[in-house]
Amino acid sequence: MELSGTIGQPDAGMMTGGGFELSGGFWFPLAPTDCNDDGVVGLPDYKDFEACFTGPAAPAPCGECRCFDVDGDGIVTMLTFQTLQAQFVGL
């Protein structure tokens, strides 16, 4: 589930409670391989990428793997890994 909005919000940072997490503050651009939308390409994204890596002869990615199809060609390949690697910060 995702909640989005725009409002003059003075509190910035992460807020959590129960099974929910909310990032407050101003809008920030997301990197194409930041599939968990936390603002950084880090270890959680890399772990998800491993499960989604298909190679050139695989079927089109579905579900959570669609976000790794950065060039829209319907496959998750080494080109995607190259993009992930360039944006990776390791958090």
In-domain check, residue 17: no
CATH number of the domain enclosing 80: 1.10.1330
Handedness of CA 46, 52, 55, 60 (dihedral sign): negative
Q: Which residue from 90, 51, 56, 86 is spatially nearest to 67, judged by alpha carbons?
A: 51
Sorting pLDDT into bands at 50, 70 and 90, what band is 5?
Answer: low
Sorting pLDDT into bands at 50, 70 and 90, what band is 28?
Answer: low
In-domain check, residue 71: yes
Domain containing 71 equals 29-87
Tens digit of pLDDT for each residue in 38-89? 888 888 888 888 888 866 566 666 777 888 888 888 788 888 888 888 988 7
Provide mean pLDDT across the span 16-34.
72
In-domain check, residue 3: no
In-domain check, residue 68: yes
In-domain check, residue 23: no
In-domain check, residue 34: yes
Instruction: Tell me, yes or no, if the pTM score tops 0.75.
Output: no
Q: 82: which 2 tokens?
A: 């190259």
In-domain check, residue 43: yes
In-domain check, residue 16: no
Domain count, the chain: 1
